[in-house]
Amino acid sequence: MRITNMHKMRVWDLPTRLFHWTLFALIPLLFMTAYAGRMDTHAAIGQAVLVLVMFRLAWGFCGSQTARFIDFVKGPSAIRSYLATGQSETLGHNPLGAAMVLALLATILVQALSGLFSSDGIGFDGPFAHLTSSVASDAVTRLHVALAYLLAGLVVIHVVAVLLHWKLHGENLIVPMFSGKKWVQAGASEPRFTHTVAAFAIFVTTAVLLFIARKTL
24: contact with ligand HEM by CB under 6 A: yes
Q: Rule CB under 6 A: is residue 74 a binding residue for ligand HEM?
A: no
Tell me: does residue 206 bind ligand HEM (CB under 6 A).
no
The nearer residue to ligand HEM, 24 or 211, going by C-beta atoms, is: 24
| Residue 20 sits in the site that holds ligand HEM (CB under 6 A) | yes
Asked whether position 138 contacts ligand HEM by CB under 6 A, the answer is no
**Measured from the CB of residue 30, what is the shortest distance to ligand HEM in angstroms?**
4
Contact predicate 93/137, CB 8 Å: no
Site for ligand HEM in 108-137 (CB under 6 A): 108, 111-112, 115-116, 118-120, 124, 126-127
Nearest-approach distance from CB 185 to ligand HEM, in angstroms = 16
Cα dihedral sign, 25-123-111-158:
positive
Long-range contacts of 66-69 (CB under 8 A, 24+ apart): 66/11, 66/12, 66/13, 66/16, 66/90, 66/91, 66/92, 66/93, 66/191, 67/12, 67/13, 67/15, 67/16, 67/92, 67/194
- Told to check if 51 binds ligand HEM by CB under 6 A, we report no
